[in-house]
Amino acid sequence: MRYWQRLGAALLTAAMLFCGCARGGAPAEPPPPPKDRVAAAVREMTTAEKAGQLMMVGVYGEEMNEDIAFLLNEYHIGGVILFDRNIGSAGQVRDLTSAMQKTAGDWPLLVAIDEEGGLVARGRDVIPAPPSAADIGAGKDPALARDWAARTAKELKSLGVNLNFAPVADLGLAGDRSYSDEPETVAAFAGAAADGYAAAGLLCTLKHFPGIGKGEADTHLGRVTVDIDLDELRAEDMRPFREVLRGRRSEEVFVMVGHVDYPAVDGDNPASLSPKVYELLRQETGFDGVVVTDDLCMGAVTDQFSAAEAAVQAVRAGADLTLICHEYEDMNAAHRALCRAIEDGTIPAARVDEALTRVLRAKAAHVGVSPAG
What is the CB-side half-sphere exposure of residue 345 using CA atoms within 13 A? Answer: 0
Alpha-carbon Rg for the chain, nearest whole angstrom, is 20
One-letter amino acid at 107 equals W
Cis peptide before 210 (omega within 30 of 0): yes
**Contact yes or no for 125/96 (Cβ under 8 A):** no
Cβ pair 119, 167 in contact under 8 A? no
In the set 294, 295, 320, 330, the catalytic residue is 294
- Which residues, other chains included, contact 89 with Cβ-Cβ below 8 Å and sequence gap of 6+? 125, 126
Residue 337 CB contacts under 8 Å (≥ 6 apart), including other chains: 308, 309, 311, 312
d(CA 63, CA 89): 11
229 is catalytic: no
Catalytic residue (one of 36, 125, 220, 229): 220
What is the rounded distance in angstroms from the CA atom of residue 79 to the CA atom of residue 67? 15
The CA angle 208-220-304, to the nearest 5 degrees, is 100
d(CA 31, CA 1) in angstroms, rounded, equals: 15
Whether the Cβ atoms of residue 241 and residue 206 lie closer than 8 Å to each other: yes
Amino acid present at 185: T
Closest CA to 144 of 198, 195, 204: 195
Q: Is 294 a catalytic residue?
A: yes
The residues annotated with a catalytic role in the active site are: 220, 294
